[in-house]
Amino acid sequence: MGMAQCAVTRQVGHKNQSSWYWDIARIEIEHFDTQDEAAAAEAAAVLNEKPKHNIGKFNGNERRGRPVTMTPERIQMALQMLNEGERGPPIWQAVRELPGPPISRPAYFLWQKKQDDMKRAKRKEAIESGDIDKAFEELT
């Protein structure tokens, strides 16, 4: 069980890297509008179905088992590069060279999208509150 931007790519990865791939009896794909909804559904499914090979351990809504790939050092470098106008692959290539667990390209791009979404939300909030100066700050 797990979340993925592309379920097919995820399965290819399991086929190439997981000894348990041939134990898979059924694959179900369900779409969710947000990552939070997907995470909640995944947590519930793991608790209810107790899959044999799932590395994630859930305690309520808290997931344990997978390492956090965007370490504080990686976040600092990525934010600095974003603020300097860099985007996408150059940042991913730089952060994956820093110490820490392996980070996939999709995992980095998901983190970058979250940063973009937070920035847009702050800008929208500033505009709606009439704080044009703050809205302009969010653009830079």
User: Quick check: 63 and 57 in contact, CB under 8 A?
Assistant: yes
Residues 59 and 76 in one domain: no
Query: Does residue 34 sit in the same domain as residue 56?
Result: yes
Q: Are residues 90 and 32 in the same domain?
A: no
Based on the fold, state whether residues 81 and 58 are members of the same structural domain. Answer: no
**Residue 130 shares a structural domain with residue 79:** yes
56 and 81 inside one domain:
no
Q: Give the total number of structural domains in the chain.
A: 2
Same domain, 48 and 105: no
The range of the structural domain enclosing residue 115 comes to: 72-139
Residues 12 and 56 in one domain: yes
Q: Is 84 in the same domain as 60?
A: no
Is the CB of residue 45 less than 8 Å from the CB of residue 32? Answer: no
- Residue-level pLDDT, tens digit, the chain, 140 residues: 777 778 888 888 888 777 778 888 888 888 888 777 877 787 777 778 777 777 655 544 454 455 678 889 999 999 999 999 999 999 999 999 999 888 888 888 888 998 888 888 888 888 888 888 877 775 65
* First-to-last C-alpha distance (Å) of the chain: 39
Q: What's the pTM value of the predicted model, to 2 decimals?
A: 0.52
